[in-house]
A and B are shown apart, each in its own frame.
Chain A
Amino acid sequence: MVEYAQTLNYVSAIGTAIMEEMRRDERVVAWGQDLVSMRGTFGDAPGMIDEFGGDRIIDTPIIEQAIAQMAVGAALAGSRPIAYIATAGFLSVCFDTLFMKMGAMRQEFSYKGPMPLVIFCRAGVGGGFGADHCTSTEALFMHTPGLKIVMPSTPYDAKGLMKAAIRDDDPVLFIASGPLYFGTKQFVPVEDYIIPLGQADIKREGTDITIVAWSGMIPKALNAAEILSKDNINAEVVDLRTIVPMDIEAVVKSAKKTGRLLIAHDAMKRGGAAAEIAMKINEVAPDVVANLKTPIRRLAAKNLGLPRNRELEAELVPQIPDVIQIVKEMV
Chain B
Amino acid sequence: MNMDIPKETLLMLYRNLLTARRIDEKHYEIYSAGGSGMPWLHRGIGQEAVSIAICANLKKDDYFKPCFRMRFCLFAKGLSIKDIIASEIVRDIIKDGGNSFYLNPEYGILGFSGSGGEDAGFYVGAALSAKMRKTDQITVYVNGDGFSNRGSVHEAIVAAVALNLPVVFMIENNQYAMGTRSQNSYKMDDLSDRAKGYGMPGESVDGNDILAIYEVVKKHVKRARSGGGPSLIVAETYRLRGHFEGDPQIYRPKGEVEEWWKKDPLPRYQKKLMDMGLLTDADINRIEAEVKNEINEAAEAALAIPRPSYEDHVKTVIGDL
Contacts and interface: CB of A to CB of B under 8 A. Distances in A.
A23 interface: no
Interface in A87-108: 89-90, 92-93
Contacts of B320: 270, 303
Interface stretch (B3-11, B52-60, B114-122, B131-139): B114-122
Contacts of B146: 61-62
A92 B115 contact: yes
8 contacts: A38-B179, A61-B177, A62-B147, A93-B118, A128-B37, A304-B321, A307-B90, A312-B313
B39 A310 contact: yes
| Shortest beta-carbon contacts, A-B, top 8 | A132-B114, A37-B179, A61-B185, A128-B39, A38-B179, A61-B149, A65-B151, A37-B251
B116 A62 contact: yes
Contacts of B218: none
A131 B179 CA distance: 23
Interface of B: 37, 39-40, 90, 113-118, 146-147, 149-152, 177-181, 184-185, 250-251, 307-308, 310, 313-314, 316-321
A78 B39 CA distance: 42
Nearest to B321: A302
Interface in A119-145: 127-133
Query: Interface size bucket, A side?
Result: 35 or more
Contacts, number: 104
Contacts of B310: 312, 315
A128 B91 CA distance: 13
A34 B39 contact: no
Contact of B317 (A63, A65, A303): A303
A66 B151 contact: yes
Nearest to B91: A309
B288 to A, nearest CB: 32
Contacts of B114: 89, 129-133
Contacts of A307: 90, 308, 313
A280 interface: no
Nearest to A314: B310
Given A89-B114, A312-B313, A63 B321 contact: no
Interface string A51-66: 0000000010111111
Nearest to A135: B114
Given A132-B114, A133-B114, A302-B321, A309 B37 contact: yes
B179 to A, nearest CB: 3
A33 interface: yes
Contacts of A33: 177-178, 180
A64 B251 CA distance: 22
Contacts of B178: 33-34, 37-38
Given A62-B177, A309-B307, A132 B115 contact: yes
B49 to A, nearest CB: 24
A128 B313 CA distance: 14
A89 B251 contact: no
Contacts of A269: 321
B241 to A, nearest CB: 15
A92 B113 CA distance: 13
B251 A308 contact: no
Given A37-B180, A59-B184, A303-B320, 13 more contacts: A38-B178, A61-B146, A62-B147, A62-B149, A62-B185, A65-B150, A129-B39, A129-B114, A130-B39, A303-B318, A304-B321, A309-B313, A312-B307
A253 interface: no
A55 to B, nearest CB: 15
A310 B37 contact: yes
A59 B180 contact: yes
